[in-house]
Amino acid sequence: MIETAFTPFQSLGGGALIGLAAVLLMATVGRVMGATGILAGLFQPANIADWSWRAAVLAGMISGPMAVLLITGDMPAVQVPVSTLMLVVGGLIVGIGVTFGAGCTSGHGVCGMARLSPRSIIATLTFMITTAITVYVIRHVLGA
């Protein structure tokens, strides 16, 4: 386990930027800023315009850490306190879950919650609870 510092101001500011991006995407292409939907749609686009907006947004997302490095002089920390096996198993389960659940933290947790969508509120409550249970079991029951 790695201890991390409480960063209320960076986290609030980062969250506000996430919200700003969601609002700007709705203002331009009229779409929800859901990472799952944007990524999955890249592999079965309706047409070239549908593919190109997704690819452009994704390219922007991936440039985020480099922009932070240029502005602040530090690459954002990505500390992985789990094994490679856990990354693979977790990634597979996340992929299956977000596809059937039709959204993740950004689609349901931010955009859907902001629209007060009943489906997104239930989805967000569900995954926040199962994540908390999973972390508790792994760290405090299994002691991994």
Partner 1 sequence: MRLIILYLIGLVFGVGISISGMANPAKVLNFFDVAGTWDPSLAFVMGGAVIVTFFGYRYLLNRPAPFMSASFQLPTRRDLDLPLIGGSAAFGIGWGIAGFCPGGALPALGTGQLDVFIFTAALLAGIFVAKAMQSFGREKQVTV
Looking at residues 1 to 20 of the shown chain, list those that interact with partner 1 (rule: CB under 8 A).
1-8, 10-20
Residue pair 90/80 in contact (Cβ under 8 Å)? The answer is: no
Confirm or reject binding of residue 143 to partner 1 (CB under 8 A): no
**Phi, psi at residue 26, to the nearest 5°?**
-65, -40
State the binding string over 97-116 for partner 1 (x if CB under 8 A, else -). xxxxxxxxxx-xxxxxxxx-
83: left (phi over 0), alpha (psi -120 to 50) or beta: beta
**Phi, psi at residue 34, to the nearest 5°?**
-110, 120
Confirm or reject binding of residue 61 to partner 1 (CB under 8 A): yes
Confirm or reject binding of residue 48 to partner 1 (CB under 8 A): no
| CB of residue 142 to partner 1, shortest distance in Å | 11
| CB of residue 37 to partner 1, shortest distance in Å | 9
Confirm or reject binding of residue 142 to partner 1 (CB under 8 A): no
Residue pair 124/109 in contact (Cβ under 8 Å)? The answer is: yes
